[in-house]
């Protein structure tokens, strides 16, 4: 991989509010993709109309229109991505990216990530941290550096082929399953802190409110095999952040509801076992860090005992 040729696929459904921000961000990249396929996934708004003016001056952008569908579910994103992947099947690219249609990126975002793939041949999935209004994944997430958020995931081609691509699941978790599966088969995955992007729509709130989104994430934590002890700490952590109590409470209720109704888990036993092992390792590391800070604080002299 010398110039790090890459391609991008963007499934877009009813993204008229933000798609132009994403278009402008990609067009201004210091290293452009070989091909960028935007898949209009049956939008009923002006998403396609906002994309078309960009096609004439940027022949490396391709628009694919899929028919309108009634049902909205996460598996549709995989079907749209696969439709876009068909358009780049014969290209000699090294990295394939899944880019959401509601993000803004620095001009050197993809140049930075491509350089990381060059430096580390064991790097299978790469991305960066992201920000939303009132949220920063670098400081407000429990996931850690090994998790790469689904709004912008870049896969080494061999890694993406090794995991069999994205797994369509109507309930969600497709991005997480792909990254975790990559680690399970031996690839490194990393969300770099040196750069970030802005996500204009709060994660998980498309066509639903914040509390409903948190409840849904709690359900998803269960059916993706999350450890109950990890979930407890996650709920407490979320309760301590605005909006206090209610957001974390909705998350916990979602997990408990899925537990009581015995929702079918969508991951293999091996992947669930691997996931829980990682969660417990991270939790122990977090607790060790907290205890170490408390020990340091206990040795700090109080203001009244300082030598004058």
- What's the pTM? 0.84
Chain centre distance of CA 25: 18
- Nearest Cα residue to 159 out of 192, 177, 185, 128: 185
CA dist 109 and 25 (Å) reads 9
DSSP annotation of 71: -
- Match 């690839």 to its residue by tokens: 187
Q: How far apart are the first and last CA of the chain?
A: 62
Nearest 5°: the CA angle 62, 65, 70 is 150
- Nearest Cα residue to 184 out of 129, 223, 225, 220: 225
Convert the pLDDT of each residue in 196-231 to its tens digit: 999 998 765 555 678 898 998 899 899 899 999 999
Convert the pLDDT of each residue in 242-270 to its tens digit: 888 999 999 999 999 999 998 888 889 99
What per-residue string of b and e applies to 106-128 under the rule 16 or more CB within 10 Å gives b?
A: beebbebbbebbeeeeebbbbbb
- Max CA separation in the chain (angstroms): 77
Is residue 146 within 8 Å of residue 189, measured between CB atoms? yes
307 — pLDDT class (breaks 50, 70, 90): very low
Query: How many other CB atoms are found less than 10 A from the CB of residue 94?
Result: 18
DSSP string of 217-276, one letter each residue: HHHHHHHTT--HHHHHHHHHHHHTSSSTTHHHHHHHHHHHHHHHTTPPP-S-HHHHHHHH
Convert the pLDDT of each residue in 116-134 to its tens digit: 999 999 999 999 999 999 8
Question: All domains of the chain, ordered by start, with CATH?
Answer: 6-199 (3.90.550.10), 210-290 (no CATH)
Q: Provide CB contacts within 8 A for 99, sequence distance 6+.
A: 8, 9, 10, 22, 26, 151, 152
At residue 300, does pLDDT exceed 90? no
């Amino acid at each position: 991989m010398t110039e790090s040729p890459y391609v991008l696929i963007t499934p877009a459904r009813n993204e008229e509010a933000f798609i132009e921000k994403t278009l402008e961000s990609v067009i201004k990249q210091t290293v452009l993709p070989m091909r960028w396929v935007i898949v209009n996934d049956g939008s009923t708004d002006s998403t396609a109309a906002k994309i078309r003016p960009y096609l004439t001056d940027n022949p490396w952008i391709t628009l694919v229109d899929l028919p309108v569908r009634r049902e909205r579910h996460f598996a549709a994103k995989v079907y749209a991505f696969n439709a876009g992947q068909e358009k780049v099947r014969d290209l000699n690219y090294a990295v394939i990216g899944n880019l959401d249609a509601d993000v803004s990126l620095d001009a050197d975002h993809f140049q930075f990530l491509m350089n990381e793939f060059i430096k580390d041949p064991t790097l299978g999935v790469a991305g960066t941290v992201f920000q939303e209004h009132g949220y920063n994944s670098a400081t407000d997430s429990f996931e850690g550096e090994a998790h790469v958020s689904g709004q912008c995931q870049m896969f080494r081609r061999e890694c993406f082929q090794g995991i069999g691509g994205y797994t369509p699941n109507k309930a969600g978790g497709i991005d997480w399953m792909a990254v975790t599966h990559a680690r399970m088969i031996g690839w490194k995955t990393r969300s770099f802190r040196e750069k970030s992007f802005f996500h204009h729509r709060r994660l998980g709130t498309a066509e639903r409110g914040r509390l409903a989104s948190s409840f849904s994430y709690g359900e998803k934590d269960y059916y993706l095999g999350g450890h109950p002890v990890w979930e407890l700490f996650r709920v407490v952590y979320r309760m301590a952040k605005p909006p206090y109590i209610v957001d974390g409470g909705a998350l916990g209720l979602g997990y408990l509801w899925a537990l009581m109704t015995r929702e079918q888990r969508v991951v293999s036993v091996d992947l669930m076992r691997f996931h829980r092992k990682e969660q417990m390792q991270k939790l122990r590391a977090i607790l060790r860090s907290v205890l170490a800070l408390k020990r340091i604080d206990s040795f700090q002299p109080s203001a009244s005992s300082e030598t004058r």
